Amino acid sequence: MYIRLWGVRGSIPTPMATEQYRHKLRKVLQRAHGQDLSDESKVDAFVEELPVTERLLVGGDTTCIEVSDGETCLVVDAGSGIRRLGLEMMKGGRYANYGGAVHLLFSHHHHDHTCGFPFFVPGFLPTSDIRLHGVHKGLEARMAGLQVGEYFPVPLEVMPSKKTYHQLTVDKPYRIGEFTITPTELNHPGDTYGYRFEWRDKVFVVASDTEFKNPDEETIEHFTAFFRDADYLYFDGQYTVQEAFVKEDWGHSSAMHGVDLSVRAGVKCLLVGHHDPAYDDETIVSIEEDAHMYRDLLYPDATLDVIAAIEGATFDLSE
Ligand SMILES: [Zn+2]
Ligand SMILES: [Zn+2]
């Protein structure tokens, strides 16, 4: 199983602003002072050694996660990140194996999880076979509603790809290729669903967007089972703990909630994503550091790893 994060931002696409770029640039130039950067390989080595917030961008595209195995291509959500995925698919490469077939699974249909679909170039190819899956009723009408004339110039039916709609049942496992996929309901306005992917002996879980507000024991048990032994759990860590208290009922969570549940469920690596649009890269990395501190304080024996989700990150569970 191969995982690639094409969009990790929450709520709205968040391109980097000039002042953020200049802030990074200034730091890099300060670090470059006195370094030998006389040829390209030395520059590359210097760049590789930079701290993560100076070496790369956390990224501003909204939720889109690829889960594939070389035979089957699954995509969770069509946030703005799916635009780049579509462009990559157009180049062929490993995507040529799928013969144009893509399974698109929706957590829900808020703008940040759907706004990329009309910009998904394979959707405009008659040879593409796009299979849309979701627990919400009326998936086709929901998709068409995203592209009505008042809000978007190109209606869904003008996209010439073959599109089929597949109704899923909550908590009922189903099979696509070698994947067993189970949706479960999350706590977010307008109903949202997480997905557990099992492939051979590997497990990946996506649980975004969701809030854990004073969960009762039954809820904790349910999610512990849903996350059980996941190699990776992509979790909604939009807020700091302080904000999670202030923004009660906004439908999002914090990395610390993710740590509590992950330790209990035996998750190996927690990917904290759905980053708040207001957070710069340094804040997001500090959330990761706080989560490490929280884990070490509360669960000193835990082997759980915690990583801030970064656009373009890949995880290979094939071995
Ligand atoms: Zn969202
Ligand atoms: Zn939402």
**CATH code: domain of residue 136:** 3.60.15.10
Report pLDDT digits (tens) over 129-160.
Answer: 999 999 999 999 999 999 999 999 999 999 99
Average pLDDT score, the chain: 95
* Alpha carbon of 301 to ligand 2 centroid (Å): 34
* Alpha carbon of 108 to ligand 2 centroid (Å): 7
Whether residue 23 is found in the same domain as residue 119: no
Question: At 210, is the pLDDT very low, low, confident or very high (cuts 50, 70, 90)?
Answer: confident
On the question of pLDDT at 212 being above 70, the answer is yes
* Alpha carbon of 222 to ligand 1 centroid (Å): 22
Taking residue 107's Cβ as centre, other Cβ atoms within 10 Å add up to 29
Contact of 156 with 132, CB cutoff 8 Å: no
Whether residue 283 is found in the same domain as residue 143: yes
* Alpha carbon of 15 to ligand 1 centroid (Å): 16
Q: What angle do CA 59, 9, 267 make, to 5 degrees?
A: 100
* Alpha carbon of 161 to ligand 2 centroid (Å): 27
* Alpha carbon of 302 to ligand 2 centroid (Å): 31
Whether residue 35 is found in the same domain as residue 99: no
* Alpha carbon of 110 to ligand 2 centroid (Å): 5
Domain that holds residue 67: 2-14+57-316
Enter the pTM of the model: 0.95
How is the beta sheet containing 179-186 ordered, strand by strand?
174-176, 179-186, 192-199, 202-207, 232-236, 269-273, 305-308
Whether residue 50 is found in the same domain as residue 147: no
Instruction: List, in order, residues 6 or more apart from 92 with CB less than 8 Å away.
Output: none
Question: At 280, is the pLDDT very low, low, confident or very high (cuts 50, 70, 90)?
Answer: very high
Ligand nearest to the CA of 11: 1
**The pair of three-digit structure tokens given for residue 98, joined into one six-digit string:** 């799928």
Whether residue 24 is found in the same domain as residue 139: no
Ligand nearest to the CA of 63: 1
Calpha distance 129→99 (Å, rounded): 8
* Alpha carbon of 188 to ligand 1 centroid (Å): 9
Q: What is the pLDDT of residue 245?
A: 62
Ligand nearest to the CA of 13: 1
* Alpha carbon of 292 to ligand 2 centroid (Å): 27
Ligand nearest to the CA of 192: 2
Instruction: List, in order, residues 6 or more apart from 80 with CB less than 8 Å away.
Output: 7, 13, 61, 62, 64, 112, 115, 116, 119
Q: Omega of the bond prior to 129 within 30 degrees of 0, cis? A: no
Whether residue 46 is found in the same domain as residue 80: no
Whether residue 36 is found in the same domain as residue 88: no
* Domains identified in the chain, total number: 2
On the question of pLDDT at 261 being above 80, the answer is yes
* Alpha carbon of 52 to ligand 2 centroid (Å): 28
**The pair of three-digit structure tokens given for residue 47, joined into one six-digit string:** 């760049």
Contact of 106 with 134, CB cutoff 8 Å: yes
* Residues with CB in 5 Å of ion ligand 1: 10, 112, 209
Whether residue 253 is found in the same domain as residue 272: yes
* Residues with CB in 5 Å of ion ligand 2: 110, 209
Which helix (H) or strand (E) covers residue 129, if one does? Answer: strand 129-134
Calpha distance 241→293 (Å, rounded): 13
Ligand nearest to the CA of 190: 2
Whether residue 153 is found in the same domain as residue 40: no
Whether residue 172 is found in the same domain as residue 312: yes
Whether residue 245 is found in the same domain as residue 264: yes
Calpha distance 292→305 (Å, rounded): 8
Q: What is the pLDDT of residue 214?
A: 79
Whether residue 247 is found in the same domain as residue 163: yes
Contact of 76 with 63, CB cutoff 8 Å: yes
* Alpha carbon of 11 to ligand 1 centroid (Å): 5
